[in-house]
Amino acid sequence: MAHNNPWPDEGNTGHIWDEDLRELDNPPPLWWMLSFYAGFIMIIFYALYYPTIPLTNASGEFTKGMTDWSQINEYQDDFKVLKDWRTAKFADKEEQLAALPVAEILKDEDLRSYAVATSKALFGDYCAACHASGGAGVSGFPVLADDDWLWGGSIAQIEATITNGRIGNMPAKGMMGNLSDQEISDVADYVIALSEGKADDVAYAAGKAVYTKGMCMACHGPAGTPMAPTGAANLADGIWRFGSDRDTVVSVISHGVNVKKNGVHIEGTRQAVMPSFKERLPNADVNIKRLAVYVHSLGGGQ
């Protein structure tokens, strides 16, 4: 290539293609070189100022720099600013939440929507594991968005439930534990008919007798509707605590809810425990009120 260079004096590198396409060896512009060297000098100050040089692999140590700057510190500083701002901005609302009884909070639309808006993350952290996001419920855990309440749907009752927790209780095989398999089968047909409004049909007469014999009405009421919210399910509505298919109904009647022998749950019994949250929640006195308002607003509060 170079031996046949028609442009020997223009400072090309001797690389010539296609007869006249050639690579020149021009220096970069002065301003460019100056900023290039300035970059080198910058490195020294950068290394002094910021964490830069890893020291040993084993300890993970590194030079900290003059200011001890780190991304996580900067993030935490920024986050603190945001948190302080938020705390200051909503200080009066938080004070009201702490001072007012929960029923008053519910009446004040402004305060209510504030409580709901600030509960979403809290509900996600502490409640949604069982009740699902939005209180949609999952198999075996109650739906909170409907209007069927085992322990009462008033705001005070919801607050009490969150504060102290609830333990479900239903004896296996009737109050006395003496129902036979046939009787259980009959009474299962009867309660399913109750929910469908067909309980007076003569076909369920046998089940109706078992309902009386097993003293089911003691908790569930004579017509399937409990007298008071004591944790007993309403058998006359279309909502089933543990499932509406016949096998599940038979199983619940046979094994009860939270039935224990020698302090241990018997096999097949339903475990239905809502823990107390007064110790579990941070800042519980305010946060329980907040969550009670949130749950009440999910769709079925009374």
Partner 1 sequence: MSNSKDNVTHDFGPTGSVLEQMDLHNKNLENIGVEILPIHTGGTVHAKRIPGFFRSLKWALASVWLIFFIGPYLRWNGHQALLFDLESRQFHIFNLTILPQDIWMLTLVLLFCSMLLAASTTVGGRLWCGYACFQTVWTDVFTWVEEKIEGQPNKRIKLEKAPMSLNKFLIKLKKHAVWLLLGFLTGFTFVAYFVDVIDLWSRLFHFEWSLMETGIIAFLGLATYFFAGILREQTCIGFCPYARIQGAMIDTQTELPTYDIERGEPRGRLKRVKPGEEAPKLGDCIDCNLCVAVCPTGVDIRYGQQFGCITCGLCIDACDSVMEKLKKPKGLIRYASLAEFGGEKLPALWKRPRVIVYGSIMFIALGTLLWGALNMASIDVKALHERSPLYVQMSNGSIQNKWTVKVVNKGNNPMKAEITASGPEDLTFKTGGVLNIQPGNVGAMTLYVQIPKKTLTDASTPIVIKVVDLNNPLVFEEYKSNFIGPKVH
Three-class SS state of 123? helix
Could you tell me the smallest distance in angstroms from the CB atom of residue 195 to partner 1?
10
Identified binder of partner 1 from the candidate list 102, 114, 119, 135, rule CB under 8 A:
135
> Both tokens of residue 155?
């705001």
Which of residues 22 and 93 has its CB atom nearest to partner 1 in the complex? 93
Could you tell me the smallest distance in angstroms from the CB atom of residue 11 to partner 1?
25
Please say whether the beta carbons of 233 and 219 come within 8 A.
Answer: no
Q: Whose CA is closest to 180, among 206, 151, 144, 218?
A: 206
> Both tokens of residue 18?
């296609």
> Both tokens of residue 299?
């769709």
d(CA 116, CA 99): 17
Identified binder of partner 1 from the candidate list 90, 96, 111, 112, rule CB under 8 A:
112
Q: Does 18 bind partner 1 (CB under 8 A)?
A: no
Identified binder of partner 1 from the candidate list 61, 125, 147, 181, rule CB under 8 A:
147
d(CA 230, CA 191): 19
d(CA 32, CA 108): 66
At 220, the amino acid letter reads H
Q: Does 137 bind partner 1 (CB under 8 A)?
A: yes
Percentages (nearest 5) of helix, strand, coil residues in the chain: 50, 10, 45
Which of residues 185 and 297 has its CB atom nearest to partner 1 in the complex? 297
Per-residue contact track with partner 1, 212 to 251, x per CB under 8 A? Answer: ----------------------x--xxx------------
Which of residues 94 and 148 has its CB atom nearest to partner 1 in the complex? 148
Please say whether the beta carbons of 234 and 226 come within 8 A.
Answer: yes
Identified binder of partner 1 from the candidate list 118, 119, 185, 297, rule CB under 8 A:
297
Chain positions 169 to 208 lying near partner 1, rule: CB under 8 A, are: none
Which of residues 51 and 300 has its CB atom nearest to partner 1 in the complex? 300
Number of residues that bind partner 1 (CB under 8 A): 22
Identified binder of partner 1 from the candidate list 67, 76, 113, 271, rule CB under 8 A:
113
CB neighbour list of residue 73: distance below 8 Å, 6 or more residues apart: none
Q: Does 152 bind partner 1 (CB under 8 A)?
A: no
Which of residues 184 and 293 has its CB atom nearest to partner 1 in the complex? 293
Q: Does 148 bind partner 1 (CB under 8 A)?
A: yes
Q: Does 299 bind partner 1 (CB under 8 A)?
A: yes
Q: Does 119 bind partner 1 (CB under 8 A)?
A: no
d(CA 251, CA 238): 18
Could you tell me the smallest distance in angstroms from the CB atom of residue 239 to partner 1?
6
Interhelix angle 155-164/284-296, rounded to 10 degrees, is 130
Q: Does 145 bind partner 1 (CB under 8 A)?
A: yes
CB under 8 A: which stretch of 39-47, 50-58, 263-271, 291-299 binds partner 1? Answer: 291-299
Tell me the torsion sign for CA atoms 55, 58, 60, 64. negative
- The string of DSSP codes covering 42-71 is HHHHHHHHS---B--TTT--B---SS---H
- The footprint of partner 1 (CB under 8 A) covers 109, 112-113, 132-137, 143, 145-148, 234, 237-239, 297-300
